[in-house]
Amino acid sequence: MTADTVAELAGKLAIPADKLQKNIDDYNSYCDHGQDPDFFKNPDYLVGKFYSGAYGTVGGVKINENCQVLDDDDKAIPVLYSAGSDTNTIYANSYNFTLPGNTMGFAVNSGRIAGLEAAKLIK
Ligand SMILES: Cc1cc2nc3c(=O)[nH]c(=O)nc-3n(C[C@H](O)[C@H](O)[C@H](O)COP(=O)(O)OP(=O)(O)OC[C@H]3O[C@@H](n4cnc5c(N)ncnc54)[C@H](O)[C@@H]3O)c2cc1C
């Protein structure tokens, strides 16, 4: 949900605008002073801006079945492997919530494959 002002946002959320404004002002002042007397949040994370993100970055680096990174011509770049969210092209711009553990499963297994392939090179 987006709004141009705090009051407008409060209206859209059907919550009291004055309380939302106070909450934001309080939090911003905690960020300025590096101390949160309400919830004792770790000062390292007292930041004014919030960037949402979850479930990793998908659709990134292109790989083959051995987790070797591919160039623009789909040729494997020697001794370069990728795994996990950096390379999870199986989801492209969608994510299947009905199958729990599927990104974690890809991360673990692609890491395993990349490791095994790299170990073969060392041998
Ligand atoms: C809120 C949330 C809920 C999730 N729930 C599920 C779920 O229910 N089921 C599921 O399957 N998946 C879930 N996921 C996704 C899953 O966590 C990821 O797919 C998985 O962790 C990806 O593993 P990864 O090893 O590729 O990356 P990451 O787990 O992100 O590991 C990358 C690591 O690299 C480190 N790193 C970054 N930059 C550098 C650097 N320059 N030098 C050294 N180290 C660096 C980071 O600190 C991090 O430890 C969830 C993700 C989130 C955020």
Q: What is the DSSP letter of 73?
A: T
Q: Is the CB of 56 under 6 A from ligand 1?
A: yes
Q: Is residue 59 part of a domain?
A: no
Q: What is the 3 state secondary structure string of 4-17?
A: CCHHHHHHHHCCCH
Burial of 51 (C-beta count, 10 Å sphere; 0-12/13-18/19+): exposed
Q: Are 103 and 91 in contact (CB under 8 A)?
A: yes
- Residue with CA nearest ligand 1 atom 52: 55
Q: Is residue 107 part of a domain?
A: yes
Q: Is the CB of 99 under 6 A from ligand 1?
A: no
Give the ligand 1 atom nearest the CA of 100. Answer: 9
User: Based on the domain organization, do 39 and 74 belong to the same domain?
Assistant: no
User: Based on the domain organization, do 114 and 75 belong to the same domain?
Assistant: yes
Q: Is residue 1 part of a domain?
A: no
* pLDDT (tens digit per residue) in 56-91: 677 789 999 999 999 999 999 999 999 998 988 777
User: Based on the domain organization, do 75 and 39 belong to the same domain?
Assistant: no
Q: Is residue 50 part of a domain?
A: no
User: Based on the domain organization, do 72 and 108 belong to the same domain?
Assistant: yes
User: Based on the domain organization, do 77 and 111 belong to the same domain?
Assistant: yes
pTM: 0.66
**What are the residues whose beta carbons fall under 8 Å from the beta carbon of 2, sequence distance 6 or more?**
9
Q: For residue 25, what are the domain limits?
A: 6-45
pLDDT averaged over the chain? Answer: 89
Q: Side chain identity at 73, as an amino acid letter? A: D
Q: Side chain identity at 116, as an amino acid letter? A: L
Q: How remote is the C-alpha of 41 from its chain's centroid?
A: 21
Give the Cβ contact number of residue 59 at 10 Å. Answer: 14
Q: Is residue 90 part of a domain?
A: yes
42 Cα to the center of ligand 1, angstroms:
21
Q: Is residue 60 part of a domain?
A: no
**How many domains is the chain partitioned into structurally?**
2
Q: Is residue 82 part of a domain?
A: yes
| Band (13; pLDDT cuts 50, 70, 90) | very high
User: Based on the domain organization, do 41 and 74 belong to the same domain?
Assistant: no
Residue by residue, DSSP assigns 94-111 as: ---TTSTTHHHHHHHHHH
Ligand 1 site-directed mutation target among 55, 57, 98, most atoms within 8 Å of CB: 55
